Structure 1
Amino acid sequence: MSLNILLIEDDRQLQRQLARQLAQFGHEVHAAFDGPQALSLLSSLPVDAVVLDWMMPGMDGPEVVRRMREDGMTMPVLMLTALGQTLDKVEGLEAGADDYVVKPVDPAELNARLNALLRARRTSDQGTDTIAAGDIVISPSRLTGWRDGQPLALSQTEFKLLLELARNAGTVVTRPMLIERIWGRDVVPTTNIVDAHIRQLRVKLLQHGDDPIATVRGLGYTLRA
Structure 2
Amino acid sequence: MKLLLAEDEPKVANAVKAGLEEQGMEVTVAFDGKMAEKYFDRDSFDCIILDINLPYTNGLDLCKQFRNRNKKVPIILLTALGELEDKMEGFSAGADDYLVKPFHLQELLARIHVIVKRSSGVDQPQNMMEVGDLVLDLDAKSVKRAGKLIKLTQKEFLLLEALAKARGRVLSKADLAEKVWALDFDTGTNTVEVYINFLRNKIDKLHPTKLIHTRTGFGYYLKEES
Q: 7, 12, 15: which is aligned to 2:13?
A: 15
1:36 and 2:34 correspond = yes
Name the Cα RMSD after superposition.
Answer: 1.4
**Residues of 2 paired with 1:33 and 1:44: CA distance?**
16
**Residues of 1 paired with 2:55 and 2:120: CA distance?**
33
Give the deviation of 1:57 after TM superposition: 2.8
1:1-225 equivalent positions in 2, closer than 5 A: 3-72=1-70, 74-126=72-124
Larger radius of gyration: 2
Q: Is the 8 A contact 2:34 2:56 kept in 1?
A: no
Give the deviation of 1:84 after TM superposition: 1.9
**Residues of 2 paired with 1:125 and 1:110: CA distance?**
25
Q: Partner letter of residue 67 of structure 1?
A: Q
Q: Partner letter of residue 59 of structure 1?
A: T
Secondary structure of 2:121's aligned partner: helix
**Residues of 2 paired with 1:105 and 1:90: CA distance?**
19
Secondary structure of 1:43's aligned partner: helix
The alignment covers a number of residue pairs equal to 126
Give the deviation of 1:89 after TM superposition: 1.0
Partner of 2:164: none
Partner of 2:200: none
**Residues of 2 paired with 1:105 and 1:95: CA distance?**
22
**Residues of 2 paired with 1:84 and 1:101: CA distance?**
8
Partner of 1:133: none
Q: Partner letter of residue 77 of structure 1?
A: I
Instruction: Report the CA distance shift for 1:51/1:44 in structure 2 as closer, same or farther (over 3 A).
Output: same
What is the aligned-residue identity percentage?
35
Which runs of structure 1 show a deviation greater than 4 angstroms over 4 or more consecutive aligned residues? none
Deviations 1:20-54 (A, max 9, x none): 01111110000101112101111111211001101
Give the deviation of 1:56 after TM superposition: 1.8
Give the deviation of 1:127 after TM superposition: 6.2
**Residues of 1 paired with 2:88 and 2:48: CA distance?**
18
Secondary structure of 1:52's aligned partner: strand
**Residues of 2 paired with 1:57 and 1:35: CA distance?**
6
Secondary structure of 1:7's aligned partner: strand
**Residues of 2 paired with 1:50 and 1:118: CA distance?**
10
Give the deviation of 1:71 after TM superposition: 2.4
Q: Partner letter of residue 13 of structure 2?
A: Q
